[in-house]
Structure 1
Amino acid sequence: MLDQEMIRTFIQVADCQSFTKAAEMLHKTSAAISYRIKTLEENIGTQLFNRTTRTVTLTPAGEYLLEKCRQWIVWLESMPIELQQMNAGVEHQVNIVINNLLYDRTAVASMLACLHQRFPSTQFHITRQVYMGVWDALINEDYHFAIGVTGNESLKNNINICAMGEIQWQFVVAPNHPLANVSGVLSDDQMRIYSAVNVEDTSRHLSKRTAWRLSGQHEIKVPDLHTKLACHLKGVGIGFLPLSLCKPLIDSGQLIAKEVKNRRHNSPLSLAWCEDKKVPLSAIWLICSDKGIPVCNLFTIP
């Protein structure tokens, strides 16, 4: 009923709104094209075109069929590539989780552009998580690759890792915050009376961790790094920010850098991927290799 030639004929008539023009495009006679469409309508049992002396227009059923036919053509044309990639061990879908500290829309778009060019039939799903949520997605969810797991050691034997670098932290307060005018190194007792602003750990199966909070200190939890930054700028709370994020704001006077007695240590981050999940080796090469997409350059850790 609907072979590939019939589908292409139907699409051409719908696009041209004319049997004559469609016949010219397909190098057929108008009578042959008209007969094909008439046969299609009889087989389906419903009218697909409204015919006038000059043009033909789609009925509601015809519009629906046109949408489906376009999808079928795309599917038919992409099928050889998909089959070749299946035999090459390329997964139909690859899920990538990115640490909230490294998430950058431009970097994600650049990575996806390169991956899509190399693996046109693979669907890529990107999400971002916080702290142990990155490990959790890789270990307990259906994620194949992680950008920015915490630490330089794998939590499971079947997960490979590659060090990316370390996040440097800076304690900051707003210029109007009471601690801004306190001289010298801040003690825990001086900081404890003010709220700590933290991005909430998104882990669902692994134990959640708190980035920085003193014993007995009130805590404000926010969903992402940029909300945390906004809180610091408004003087809502105190805490540490990535140096690369807050340095321009310190230089411009929008934030004040303070020395504290117990500094937050640097946070090492790594790339990680599962051995027992079908991640295309060439995709890993593209993401990790200096000759492919050097992720460490896209998702910058100064």
Structure 2
Amino acid sequence: MTMTPRRNALTPEALAMVDTIARSGSFAAAARELGKVPSALTYSVRQLEESLDVLLFDRRSRQARLTAAGEELLVEGRRLLAAMDAVANRVRRVATGWETQLTIAADGVLSRLTLLELCEAFYALRPAPPPRHADAAPPPEPDAPAGPGTRLRLRTEVLNGTWEALVTGEADLALGVPADTANAPGIESRPLGEVAFVFAVAPHHPLARHAGPIEDAELLRHRAIAVADSAQRLSPLTVNLLPGQDVLTVPSLQAKIEAQVRGLGCGFVPEPLAHDHLRLGRLVAKEVRRQRQTTARLAYAWRTGTPSNARKSVQGLALRWWLTQLDSPATRRALLERHSGLPSDVD
């Protein structure tokens, strides 16, 4: 691609020069800061103005006062310089093995508090400097904030949607996939744990006054609250619904619990997520006659390569860090059980 003269003129040095002049308030002060004589600095500004065919500084003032075009170049120049610094820092960090971005898909049943605590610990990392050639000059002291430089992207999924995000390549790590589906070429998985579900209704719901186990015939008379599977390509899952039962479908487990607290319907809810509502009497646990799926076995899984390539790809340091955290039983337990603001024991 051919560089235009105007683009050639917009070098980092030229942008930094305009920034220095505007910040110092005069050509003489900027020249001293840049280690140049004022005439050389004035010449460089004139060359930049001629290349852009604009006037950047108002010559009628003794001070270095920017024109409207100069103000625009200053604002955009600062943005470009910051972007260049960010790219340089990210390239240096990627050279150490840190991924540019890591996408984590987490089922809605997992603790958002724990996930954010893990993100906080990840951002607090101070990675080692990249290796350099023996003859290379030592790199300057980094002025970027601490952290590996990997962008984290969190996705909330439901049921098969968590698995779909991983197998379609939209996520690098999936937390809370159904344990019986976590098996595919190029993917590894480990058990995350189990989540208990309880059948619950609001205290003012008709079923709250029902004595003894509730029969299917009685359940059919009442609306169920269900969470929509977020999968778009895989077959969506339906759990603990009766054929012919009226259903209100909501987008998240939090919305399902809120709907049941309002008495809009009934259904099974994750006990850890609904624990406070049950404890405070906003929901009432009831027994149902027919055996339902009352425990969900979950796993976490990650991509190791492509199905067509038997050789594993090199595992990035960001993914490796998250997998190390998931090796901890305390972290796995917190992801499954901790849904209040109490201190956690995440390693």
Distance, in Å, in 2 between the alignment partners of 1:297 and 1:77 is: 40
Distance, in Å, in 1 between the alignment partners of 2:71 and 2:150 is: 29
TM-score under structure 1 normalisation? 0.87
TM-score under structure 2 normalisation? 0.77
- For the 8 Å contact 2:103–2:172, the answer to whether it is kept is yes
Match of 2:200 in 1: 172
Superposed displacement of residue 212, structure 1: 2.2
Choose which of 269, 274, 285 in structure 1 pairs with 2:303: 274
The one-letter amino acid of 1:100's match is: G
- For the 8 Å contact 2:193–2:299, the answer to whether it is kept is yes
Choose which of 110, 113, 118 in structure 2 pairs with 1:111: 118
Superposed displacement of residue 139, structure 1: 1.0
**Are positions 1:265 and 2:294 aligned together?**
yes
Superposed displacement of residue 88, structure 1: 4.8
Match of 2:188 in 1: 160
The one-letter amino acid of 1:110's match is: E
- For the 8 Å contact 2:272–2:336, the answer to whether it is kept is no
Q: Which stretch has the larger CA shift, 91-100 or 287-296?
A: 287-296
Distance, in Å, in 2 between the alignment partners of 1:171 and 1:281 is: 42
Superposed displacement of residue 95, structure 1: 2.1
Write out per-residue CA displacement over residues 165-204 of structure 1, whole angstroms, 9 at most, x where no aligned residue. Answer: 1111111111110111111111222212111101100111
Distance, in Å, in 2 between the alignment partners of 1:63 and 1:110 is: 41
The one-letter amino acid of 1:268's match is: R
- For the 8 Å contact 1:168–1:265, the answer to whether it is kept is yes
Superposed displacement of residue 208, structure 1: 0.3
Once the two structures are superposed, the pairs formed by residues 1-302 of structure 1 within 5 Å of their partners are 1-102=9-110, 104=112, 106-116=113-123, 117=125, 118=127, 120-151=148-179, 154-261=182-289, 262-276=291-305, 280-290=315-325, 296=332, 299-301=335-337
The alignment partner of 1:169 has SS state of strand
Q: Which stretch has the larger CA shift, 40-49 or 75-84?
A: 75-84
Unaligned runs of 5+ in 2: 1-8, 128-146, 307-312, 339-347
Unaligned runs of 5+ in 1: none
Superposed displacement of residue 127, structure 1: 1.6
The alignment partner of 2:337 has SS state of coil
Q: Which stretch has the larger CA shift, 139-148 or 62-71?
A: 62-71
Distance, in Å, in 2 between the alignment partners of 1:179 and 1:161 is: 40
Write out per-residue CA displacement over residues 241-270 of structure 1, whole angstroms, 9 at most, x where no aligned residue. Answer: 111122211221111111122243311222
Superposed displacement of residue 99, structure 1: 1.0
- For the 8 Å contact 1:195–1:218, the answer to whether it is kept is yes
Count residues with an aligned counterpart.
301
> In the superposition, relative to structure 1, how do residues 292 and 185 fare at CA in structure 2: closer, same or farther (>3 Å)?
closer
- For the 8 Å contact 2:304–2:315, the answer to whether it is kept is no
> In the superposition, relative to structure 1, how do residues 209 and 115 fare at CA in structure 2: closer, same or farther (>3 Å)?
same
> In the superposition, relative to structure 1, how do residues 113 and 248 fare at CA in structure 2: closer, same or farther (>3 Å)?
closer
Identity %: 28
